[in-house]
Amino acid sequence: MRTEFDAYWMPFTANRQFKKAPRLLARAEGMHYYTPDGRKVLDGVAGLWCVNAGHARPRIVEAIRAQAGEMDYAPPFQMGHPKAFELAERLVQLTPPGLNRVFYTNSGSESVETALKMAIAYHRVRGEGQRTRLIGRERGYHGVNFGGISVGGIVANRRMFGTLLAGVDHIRHTHDPQRNAFSRGQPAHGAEFADDLERLIALHDASTIAAVIVEPVAGSTGVLIPPQGYLQRLREICDKHGILLIFDEVITGFGRLGTPFAAQRFGVTPDIMTVAKGITNGCVPMGAVFVKQEIHDTFMQGPEHLIEFFHGYTYSAHPLACAAGLGTLDTYAEEGLLERGSGELESYFENAVHSLKGLPRVIDIRNIGLVGAIELEPIPGEPAKRAFQVFLDCWERGVLIRTTGDTIALSPPLIIEKSQIDQIVDTLRGALQRAA
């Protein structure tokens, strides 16, 4: 192992493999990264699902630069700064009606922790303090803090960390390759999977359940798209039993599905919604939680001088993050990026990724908006190895993709052109043929 790489323990990385042959990125612009030796790499995954507007966008860069010179930090407890309020007002103009209160965090993981705490505290404040149980979903990903991995359902993220939070249960996932393989957009079959929530309600009793949390489109587990009618059914069941519905839109937010948020794409409004990633185009760490006004207002009682919700972070509403968020929203608006992943471009992307059907070891393809997945048959006894071989092959040929298990995930910046979609898919085609 090379000494200059020893100190950094890398996240979600095969550290020993990486440090034997490092894959380094030196700069980025538009749709591309550049390696230290000047090699150009097309970004097929928007960094890590977050660089929705492309890299080094002038409005965002200048906003951060100016803010750093004006005010580097402002305490968020008992104090505020103008851009925090300006950004919140701009954000709620994009959310579904009713989600008009914003609480700032620094990441998707923190947004999830915040949402879970809000849900439990909300029921306590309104006199139903016995509602403490949280319901997640198998194969769900909600960040890496204890609350997030507890309600999450990805085995590798949970197995090393003990008993996790008490009082958590999971409904079944929606993946059904027997009926839905190679679906285009929302699968036709599986709305009934939402009824698994009724099973848990019968087991635990609705009076003990605070909230259900799901990703509208499950991203990190391999791009699992909700069956037609599934999210509507979850909403109905939660309403029937007085349970809060939380959408984790850390990945699907800010244009990934051709609408500002997945809630609008699917016509289902949650009670609480978590975001991060695209809120600042990945430039400065930031997250947020959108809450319905009636939930917010429930906390606003008692003496006015007392804190209503004992939660927050040193870097909540960080001035540089707020500046980056404003620059990001300006860029989205000026270029119509929040809607660009629909219509003709979505159809072109869909046809391109589905052109890989029939290649050796390709067992499913899924897509919606500008997100897609190609699922591969695992190598017996060596899970995830085949997809990782494809990842390395594409990297050597100038295209960055992402793998999760034996699924290849694509989520390019929303500025992508058709010729660049072709480049990604053609590179993948060659890599899949060589990996067969």
Helix (H) or strand (E) holding 403: strand 402-404
Q: What is the mean pLDDT of residues 304-312?
A: 97
CATH architecture, domain defined by 61-335: 3-Layer(aba) Sandwich (3.40)
- Backbone φ and ψ for 401, nearest 5 degrees, come out as -120, 180
Residue with tokens 């879970």: 116
- Report the amino acid identity of residue 44: G
Q: What is the pLDDT of residue 35?
A: 98
pLDDT tens track for 341-373:
999 999 999 999 999 999 999 999 999 999 999
* CA–CA separation, 414 and 44 (whole Å): 10
Ranges of CATH 3.90.1150.10 domains, the chain: 3-56+338-435
Cα torsion 166, 145, 115, 141 to 10°: value is -90
- Report the amino acid identity of residue 76: P
pLDDT above 80 (res 3):
no
Helix (H) or strand (E) holding 364: strand 362-368
Other beta carbons within 10 Å of 52: 29
**pLDDT averaged over every residue in the chain:** 97
Task: Give the torsion sign (CA, 156, 157, 160, 162).
Answer: negative
Q: What is the pLDDT of residue 337?
A: 98
pLDDT tens track for 167-224:
999 999 999 999 999 999 999 999 999 999 999 999 999 999 999 999 999 999 999 9
- Backbone φ and ψ for 125, nearest 5 degrees, come out as -65, -35
Helices (H), ranges, 37-126:
46-49, 58-70, 82-92, 108-125
Confidence (pTM): 0.97
**Helical pair 319-335 and 82-92, crossing angle rounded to 10 deg:** 40
Task: Give the torsion sign (CA, 142, 143, 149, 154).
Answer: positive
Question: In the structure, what pLDDT confidence band is assigned to residue 436 with cuts at 50, 70 and 90?
Answer: confident
DSSP string, 16-51: HHHHHS-----EEEBTEEE-TT--EEEESSHHHHT-
- Backbone φ and ψ for 268, nearest 5 degrees, come out as -130, 125
pLDDT above 60 (res 1):
no
Question: In the structure, what pLDDT confidence band is assigned to residue 295 with cuts at 50, 70 and 90?
Answer: very high
DSSP string, 147-206: HHHHH---HHHHTTSTT-SSSEEEE-----HHHHTT-SSS-SS-GGGGGHHHHHHHHH-G
Q: Give residues with Cβ within 8 angstroms of 429, minimum separation 6.
A: 355, 356, 359
Q: What angle do CA 31, 36, 41 make, to 5 degrees?
A: 25
Q: What is the mean pLDDT of residues 158-163?
A: 95
Q: What angle do CA 161, 164, 165 make, to 5 degrees?
A: 165
pLDDT above 90 (res 2):
no
β-pairing, 168-171 with 362-368? unpaired
Ranges of CATH 3.40.640.10 domains, the chain: 61-335
Q: What is the pLDDT of residue 74?
A: 98
Over pLDDT 90: what percentage of the chain?
A: 99
β-pairing, 287-292 with 133-137? unpaired
What CATH number was assigned to the domain covering residues 3-56+338-435? 3.90.1150.10
What proportions of the chain, in percent to the nearest 5, are helix, strand and coil? Answer: 40, 15, 40
Instruction: Give the single-character DSSP code of 425.
Output: H
* CA–CA separation, 151 and 119 (whole Å): 13
* CA–CA separation, 200 and 370 (whole Å): 34
Q: What is the mean pLDDT of residues 389-398?
A: 98
Beta partners for 292?
99
Nearest CA among 257, 415, 260, 266 for reference residue 329: 260
